[in-house]
Structure 1
Amino acid sequence: MFIPLHDRNALHYVRWQYVTLGLILLNLIIFLLTGGPGDGRLLQVFATSFGLIPGEFLPQATDALTSPNPIQWTDLITYAFLHGGWMHLIGNMAFLWVFGDNIEDAMGHVKFLIFYCLCAMGAALAHALANWGSPVPLIGASGATAGIIAAYLMLHPDVRVWILILGRIPLPIPAIYCLGAWLALQLFNSLTSTQSTVAWWAHVGGAMTGAILIPLMKRKSVPLFQRAT
């Protein structure tokens, strides 16, 4: 749909977005180590071991008391650090880079890291429920970044965001329009797409988690739906 490039939204509480930068670096390192740049067989091994597979996770969760195998709760987070290619990685990291710093600023470093992980978990659970029994691993940070997008929209709807449309047209558009349209598209596709390689319900689940958590986790001095000055 579009790639975010930049927003003019200064930090007020933290000097540097250490957690945002750390998450981007960690995603890049894991991408390089897991065969993302080209070794599909190696990536498949990691995706099977650390991705979220609905068909394996939910049966264990629904029969946790009698199942001989422990529930792999860590898969609810580890899947978000695996990516299937450069464009998959760059797209997710672009959203994290542009919008993550302001959410980190609004919460603080530790709360933001917890928030990111909870959004990833909410996205994974939504995907698993919507794809009950699927053997296909879910990977990628898009669910976690969807939570950041929803939180940003609830904090800074009027901020102008420079986005790249169709891969070549840069435009400054208020967040309420570009991010609102992005979220609406995720919901529309999740309800209408029957066969797709995109985990639409993970995006919806991550966004819902972010929208629920931002009022609870932001600093008390940070208002919701800030108006442009």
Structure 2
Amino acid sequence: MPAAAHTAVGNTNLAQLCDLQAFFERWGAVPWELVRNQVPALVPTGHAVATAQGAACLAGPPSYTKIPAVSVLTAMFLHGSWTHLLGNMLFLAIFGNNIEDRLGPVRFLLFYLVCGYVAGYGFAVTDPSSSDPLVGASGAIAGVLGAYLVLFPRARVWGLIPVLFFLPLRVPAWLMLGMWFVLQAFYAAGYGTAEAGSVAYAAHVIGFVAGSLLGLTMRRPRRRAISPRL
């Protein structure tokens, strides 16, 4: 990022950006590291250095020990902004309680982590050369949405439906979540948004599919009606 070392970008100067980059590199899930199970020889150090073009973030040998598989776990508890965090927590609060009621707290936690890991590694496989850290719980929460679709498809939930303009309506879960999944798949393919490179839509799709498949194993068998004997 060629700029003066103390030039502000918004309310953040370059030194702060370099420090944030190093933090996410250490604790985020980097696809390049996941597919190779190793850390590169040079990583962001968190310091800005002067260059002929101005200034840039300094790279150097890692001063820490990082286990790529563990970084998928730590990345689930990091978010890029308050909007990212609050949006995820809203979806988790709305849809997660029913899944937790079905599984219980311990099994729900295991389900949540499995979806997060499948989404993280699945995204790494789709872009194995990427060195951009993946952060956020979106993959795991997408798994919760997938399970909800399978377990409670007829439940009615509030959603903003685009009819001329966005109207708050109660709609079946299968409609709302189905539309959400199609939209994520559309974005993951690179259509309809200019921000596809900064949002891991593929992780959302993979997490949703993983949650749906796991949700099929949670479905309770329907009891067959027994005809009374005369």
TM-score by length of 1: 0.69
Out of 160, 185, 188, which is 1:190 matched to?
188
Determine what percentage of the aligned residue pairs are the same residue.
Answer: 41
- The reply to whether residue 53 of structure 1 matches residue 16 of structure 2 is no
Q: What does residue 176 of structure 1 align with? A: 174
Corresponding letter in the other structure for 1:209? A
For the 8 Å contact 1:158–1:176, the answer to whether it is kept is yes
Runs (5+) with no aligned partner, structure 1: 1-37, 62-68, 224-229
Higher helix share: 1
Q: Deviations over 1:60-88 (max 9, x none)?
A: 27xxxxxxx87421112211110111111
Displacement of 1:168 in angstroms is 6.9
Corresponding letter in the other structure for 2:30? I
Please provide the CA RMSD for this pair: 2.5
Q: What does residue 124 of structure 1 align with? A: 120
Q: Counterparts in 2 of 1:1-229, with a 5 A limit?
A: 43-60=20-37, 71-164=67-160, 169-193=167-191, 195-216=196-217, 218=218, 221=220
Cα distance in 1 for residues equivalent to 2:89 and 2:76: 12
Provide closer, same or farther for how the CA distance between residues 71 and 215 of structure 1 changes in structure 2, counting only shifts above 3 A. same
* Count of aligned residue pairs for this structure pair: 177
Cα distance in 2 for residues equivalent to 1:91 and 1:222: 34
Cα distance in 1 for residues equivalent to 2:213 and 2:106: 18
Cα distance in 2 for residues equivalent to 1:90 and 1:44: 22
Cα distance in 1 for residues equivalent to 2:35 and 2:20: 23
Q: What does residue 9 of structure 2 align with? A: none
Displacement of 1:150 in angstroms is 0.5
Cα distance in 2 for residues equivalent to 1:41 and 1:175: 42
Displacement of 1:157 in angstroms is 0.9
Corresponding letter in the other structure for 1:58? V
Q: Alignment partner of 1:81: what SS?
A: coil
Displacement of 1:104 in angstroms is 0.4
Cα distance in 2 for residues equivalent to 1:71 and 1:83: 20
Cα distance in 2 for residues equivalent to 1:83 and 1:109: 23
Displacement of 1:221 in angstroms is 4.1
Runs (5+) with no aligned partner, structure 2: 1-11, 39-64, 223-230
